[in-house]
Amino acid sequence: MKFQDSVFCIRDVNFTIIYIKMGYPRLEVGKQCELAPTLLTAMEGKPQPQQDSLMHLLIPSLFHMKYPADASKNALPFNLSERPKTVQILLEFMLDVLLMPYGFVLNESPSRPLPPSSQGSSAEGPAAAGGQGLPQPPPGMSVYAVKRVIGEVQWNAEQLELCKLGIVKFIEAKQVPEVETVVHLVVASSDTRHSVATAADLELKSKQSIIDWNNPLIINKIFKIYLGDVPLKTKGGGVKQELKHEPVSTRVKLKILPHLLRSRLAAECFPANIQVVYDGLFGANTNNKLLSLTLQFVHHICMVCPDTNKPLGLMLLNGLTKLINEYKEDPKLLCVAYSAVGKLSSRMPQLFTKDIALVQQFFESMCKEGPDVRLAIQEALSMMVGAYVNLQGALLNLMEALVAAYIAKPEVQVRQVAMKFASTVFAPDHVPSRYLLLLAAGDAREEVSAEAQRVLRPHPTKSEKEGPKPMPSFPDMVAYIQEKAAQRIKTPAKYVVGTSTIPFNPSAFAEIMLYLRMCLAHSAGATPLSSRMSDMQDDAPTIGRYVQSLLSSEHQPLASKGSEANPIHVYMDLLQQLLSAVGGIPVMYCLLEVVSVCPEKLAPRFSDRIDWIKSLMNTNKEEMRELAAQLYAVVVSTMTGNELQTAVQTLVKITRDNHSPETQHGALLALGYMVGRYMSRKKVLICSDSAKNKEQQGSITSKGEGDELVALATKTIGSFLDSSSALLTVAACTALGEIGRNAPLLIPADGSGCTKLSVVENLLARIPSGKESAKMKERSITTLGYLPVGDADFPHQKKLLQGLMDSVEVRQIFCYISAYSLYMVDYIHFTTTFVAKLLSL
């Protein structure tokens, strides 16, 4: 009581405290616990040395204290709610006790003086203070704090353990506000003694749901003990050397970081957050576990930090790139570091926009690292690509060269990322990047080629306001492809197929030609939504007008010297080159399409390549033979009368050769398409009155010879309707329909042999037959619909129409609908006359 009474003189107080220090430890444990609250109360307003002495007596007794289960204010043995200063002094001393290592001995002998240092600097070893060395305190403590904890009689390891356990029990009993003791529990949970660490860890886990990790009081305390008293250059050395706290040990840091990962405030608290990052990445006592947790903290910062904090972003980026360049021990940590760079680029893309060198470094590392790290770099680059979408000028050219350099690398991940940069960074109408994507579209690995094809193929937009995606202009794209093809054919990049040499591998070459065709349709004003032939055919009229304009305007794109100047001619030459080496049905269609829309100007270019076209008519693919037959018909129909006559006679002769059904099939189709085009052209010329057209009509062939040739060809084709080969029967049906669509069949109306009546009956009989294929039935219906189109006075119209109506079945209705819808346009001009005649019957 004397000690608490302020009226006594200092001498009495000093003698009293000496008596307390001598007598309190000799009391029974129960009596010590009873007087413990009195000791705490007596600290109020006393000098620091006396407070330290009393706390040194108090702390050991906390382990033996019995706390009531009722945590109400009246039941608390230590009523500290009205003594905030005492609480702070006590908690500060307790934290130092928890940080105190077991068996630590403070070496009071002066260490070697250090040279004078600049104000505010720090050293790893003994610190200089006034030219005289001080002993090195334990991590997390200052020299002064160590002396306070040691006191006059230092606790041994067992006593210190009990003291720490007593502090944890004191915290568990909620004697002080919980927000004030979170840091104490975190530090205690990292203790080297299992009993202390377990008790603190259990208490910390029990309070996880109520601890607010975004409370500034908690986070600031954690940062303070984590970093110690870090001197800042902007501020002077304001902390005396003896009072300067060292950063905590790695063991404590490993316990602190998981809690920082729960705090958004910790990630936003600059510059403490970046100091924690650099300490964990490059600190003298860091290890792989600390590196891993620090990198997780970096990820946390990247996810929640403000995207306007440029200094933080720059320091994070510099730290991560330094770690990537220098650290080579654990590939897993490298993976996390690369991933952090990717997340940082998503958060602060402005830091990366002008740093093309970093992209190159990552590409180069991806070529050298192992599979796991390579995958992490791939993910990082995929996240970084969005930072470069607005490049312009020289930076865009640098990125173009970079992508071109890595899109052909042997590592598939490198090619994937290069393809992603090509598709994202550059505009959809950027010619060089589309070329690189076309190379990727022909990649041997499906994951690369499929993604590149998805980017290149236009897709319908959900909103009409968006409009079609822009594409390169056809002339520019063709010129660029021609230039690259000329370069590659002279390098090892060329591709040899049999006896042919092509500039690109077959898959890439096919993709290039399909893309050129899409560019052709886009430049013509069409909307190329697919590369399927059924969709391509709808664009033919629009493409025809555009091709005519290109050919008539003598377009001169930039191309290499000595090469074709007109883009249409270049396009055709590339198609021929690919067809000669590899083939391909879509490629064959593209060639047929461009020649057909302007035959008078383009077909003569194939006059010396008739044999090559015939070879395509003999391939083993039915669809290829049909397309080649149409091209053959287009080319031959532009020749003079004698050449046309010879071609018809040759085809008739080939159809009679039974050794090769494929050859017969191609000849039958070519014969039908050629006669059909001849009859259509003849009809046009007859309807024209110009002298020039009359001259052209005479140059085709004489009327008698022409009709005889057509009749011969028609009868030859009709004879195959009864062939035992389904392939030849379908070809004959198709050929007759093509002739009938353009003009009357020059065969008798009825009678014996091949007549119009026999053709109608033959085809009608096939429709309901269960032996015929769906294709045969559809072609039969189509041909029957064509016959009155070319012959307004077709003699068997009633029989034809009645036969079609009688053969209708519900399950076959799709055949009729598809056939009629396909050819409705062709016989619109015939409908009025045909319906009038039907009504009169």
d(CA 11, CA 2): 11
Instruction: Answer with the residue of higher pLDDT: 239 or 737.
Output: 737
395-410: per-residue pLDDT in tens? 999 999 999 999 999 9
> Which pLDDT tens digit goes with each residue over 533-578?
777 788 888 999 999 999 987 655 444 444 557 999 999 999 999 9
Q: Coil, helix or strand for 468?
A: coil
DSSP 742-801: HS--SS-SSSSSS-HHHHHHHHHHHSS-SSS-HHHHHHHHHHHHHHHHH-TT-TTHHHHH
- Residue 48's CB is within 10 A of a number of other CB atoms, namely 10
**pLDDT tens, position by position, 788-808:** 988 888 888 889 888 888 877
CB 190 within 8 A of CB 98: no
> What's the confidence (pLDDT) of residue 151?
83
Q: For residue 829, give every residue at least 6 positions away whose Cβ sits within 8 Å of its Cβ, in sequence order, or none.
A: none
Cα(818)–Cα(833) distance, integer angstroms: 23
CB 342 within 8 A of CB 383: yes
What's the residue count for the chain?
A: 841
Report whether 327 contacts 369 (CB < 8 A).
Answer: no
Environment class of 98 (CB within 10 Å of its CB; exposed 0-12, middle 13-18, buried 19+): buried
Residue that the structure tokens 């071109």 belong to: 404
Collapsed DSSP state (helix, strand, coil) of residue 702: coil
Q: Quick one: pLDDT at residue 659?
A: 84
Which residues, 6 or more positions from 118, have their beta carbon under 8 angstroms from its beta carbon? none
d(CA 470, CA 458): 9
CA distances from 217 to 121, 438, 583 (A): 27, 59, 75
Average pLDDT over residues 292-300: 95
Separation between Cα atoms, residue 616 and residue 663, nearest integer Å: 10
* 222, pLDDT greater than 90: yes
Judging by beta carbons within 10 Å of its beta carbon (0-12, 13-18, 19+), is residue 327 exposed, middle or buried? middle
Percentage with pLDDT > 70 across the chain: 82
Alpha-carbon span 683 to 702, nearest angstrom: 14
d(CA 190, CA 198): 9
Burial of 657 (0-12, 13-18, 19+ CB in 10 A): exposed
Q: At what angle do helices 431-441 and 474-488 cross, to 10 degrees?
A: 60
715 closest CA partner among 756, 743, 681, 682:
756
> Does residue 498 surpass a pLDDT of 80?
yes
Smallest CA-to-CA distance from 102 within 222, 229, 194, 181 is with 194
DSSP state of 369: S
| Residue 129, helix vs strand vs coil | strand
How high is the pLDDT of residue 72?
Answer: 56
Q: Is the pLDDT of residue 136 over 50?
A: yes
pLDDT value for 58? 84
Cα–Cα–Cα angle for 250, 251, 255, nearest 5°? 110
Q: What is the pLDDT of residue 812?
A: 53
H/E element holding 495? strand 495-497
Give CA–CA dist 526/512, Å, rounded.
Answer: 19
Which pLDDT score is estimated for 702?
Answer: 53
Collapsing DSSP states into helix, strand and coil, what is residue 527?
coil
Model confidence at 234, pLDDT cuts 50, 70, 90, reads very low
Q: Closest Cα to residue 300, out of 332, 273, 322?
A: 273
pLDDT of res. 486: 94
The pLDDT of 587-593, averaged and rounded, is 93
DSSP-based three-state secondary structure for 544: helix
Q: Which two tokens stand for residue 40?
A: 């705490």
Pull the structure tokens for residue 673. 């398409």
Are 106 and 135 within 8 A, CB to CB?
A: yes
User: Contact 81/176 with Cβ under 8 angstroms?
Assistant: no
Residues 6+ apart with CB under 8 A from 821: none
* pLDDT band at 682; cut points 50, 70, 90: confident
Q: What is the pLDDT of residues 36-63, one digit of tens each?
A: 777 777 777 777 887 888 888 888 888 8
Please answer whether residues 675 and 734 qualify as being in contact, where contact means their C-beta atoms are separated by less than 8 angstroms.
no
- State the pLDDT at residue 841: 39
Separation CA 486–CA 577 (nearest Å): 13
Q: Which tokens is 778 given? A: 């559809």
Query: What is the rounded distance in angstroms from the CA atom of residue 336 to the CA atom of residue 340?
Result: 6
Report the alpha-carbon distance of residue 382 to residue 374 in Å, rounded. 12
The CA distance from 134 to 144, in Å, is: 10
For residue 317, give the H/E element and its range.
helix 310-326
The verdict on whether omega for the bond into residue 460 sits within 30 degrees of 0, i.e. cis, is no
How many CB atoms are located within 10 Å of the residue 426 CB?
22
- Is 814's pLDDT higher than 70? no
